[in-house]
Structure 1
């Protein structure tokens, strides 16, 4: 089962697709499942397909041994001539986000690590923040740090910050008990948040040049036999 662990050293790839309808989302999910179930690529560790909840779309959480292994996959003729055109046809937008894990935190009830699996009932929130390369480190320093208050928020399970290796974004992959509890946290008035949290959020808004967010449920996963 895929785990989020800060010491594994994996490259994490987020394949983020948007679709116009839930029917389109289902088609993308079906095609992703086929690829995941037949994956035998050198250096591939795991893939977990997520289906959009609040907005149609999909998120594939993929772990690779390193960037070289991923680039070898991208260089393959089948990927270039069949896989890419297929998903460009099915999705209204496609982003292949290469990242490295920078920080992770989870509620003590989860144990030693964070599991990414359709066997769980996580309400998963994925937030993508665009940033100028010269400001990426400051944005990470602002957000990717321990937050003890968050552990006390009803419904919180985990959150992990990933650094875009091209320097233009950071991503937050977060797990919550339910949509209702996440929405209550997301819409909490600023004055009800700790002062240091408010300051960090304000600084992040000034540094980020764009924001994308959607919620997902993991629906399919497979890991390589290591």
Structure 2
């Protein structure tokens, strides 16, 4: 199963697709699985397909050796004339986000490792933050090292912060949070907690994120399928 680490070893790509109906989500998932099953691209490491829970949509967490390998895929005839047009037919938005993993955190019992796999029962939360370029590093810190308090929150498992490098379908600088929770109930309880009940540490970081982020949107997911090069 793929592992997430802030070691600079891979380019991490998050392809986020939204749609407006459950049946279109199923079509997206089927198309994505076919592409992942056939993947043999130079520099491709792994792909992990996620199914939207809170809202219809999909996410593909992809690891590549380099930006150049990914651009070779994007410039290919298959991607330009078959893959992208197919996705445009059944989506309401497409965001292809290239990122660097800059921070990971886990509950102590997970041994310092973040894994993603359909064999796990994580509820995955992916949140995308827009930010002014000059504030990107500050937002990375606010979403990552400043959130040590999360390990004490019931239901929290892990979270990863990704610095946006470049994107298609999204303008400007961005930061992504990829988090794993026990279940939907624990995550909803966390989001629904009243501000006056927040710890001082949470109040501080939430205030900083609100100050720095120019936009934010999120969805919850379940990991559906994964495949790595050589499988």
- Residue 40 of structure 2 corresponds to 40
Three-state SS of the structure 2 residue aligned to 1:147 is: helix
| Structure 2 length-normalised TM | 0.94
- Residue 206 of structure 1 corresponds to 211
Deviation at 1:196, TM superposition (A): 2.9
Deviation at 1:225, TM superposition (A): 2.7
Task: Report the CA distance shift for 1:212/1:206 in structure 2 as closer, same or farther (over 3 A).
Answer: same
Please tell me whether the aligned partners of residues 143 and 177 of structure 2 are also in contact (alpha carbons under 8 angstroms).
no
Which 4+ runs in 1 deviate beyond 4 A? none
Partner Cα separation in structure 2 for residue 142 and residue 111 of structure 1:
23
Partner Cα separation in structure 2 for residue 141 and residue 206 of structure 1:
13
Structure 1: gaps spanning 5 or more residues: none
* 1:219 maps to 2:230: no
Structure 1 residues 33-182: aligned runs within 5 Å = 33-145=33-145, 147-166=147-166, 168-182=173-187
1:106-165 CA-to-partner distances (Å, cap 9, x unmatched) read 112222411111111110011000111121111112222053321111111100000100
Partner Cα separation in structure 2 for residue 138 and residue 148 of structure 1:
16
Please tell me whether the aligned partners of residues 105 and 146 of structure 1 are also in contact (alpha carbons under 8 angstroms).
no
Three-state SS of the structure 2 residue aligned to 1:124 is: strand
Q: How many residues align?
A: 226
Structure 2: gaps spanning 5 or more residues: 167-171
Q: What value does the CA root-mean-square deviation take over the aligned residues? A: 1.4
Please tell me whether the aligned partners of residues 15 and 60 of structure 1 are also in contact (alpha carbons under 8 angstroms).
yes
Greater CA deviation, 186-195 or 168-177?
186-195
| Structure 1 length-normalised TM | 0.96
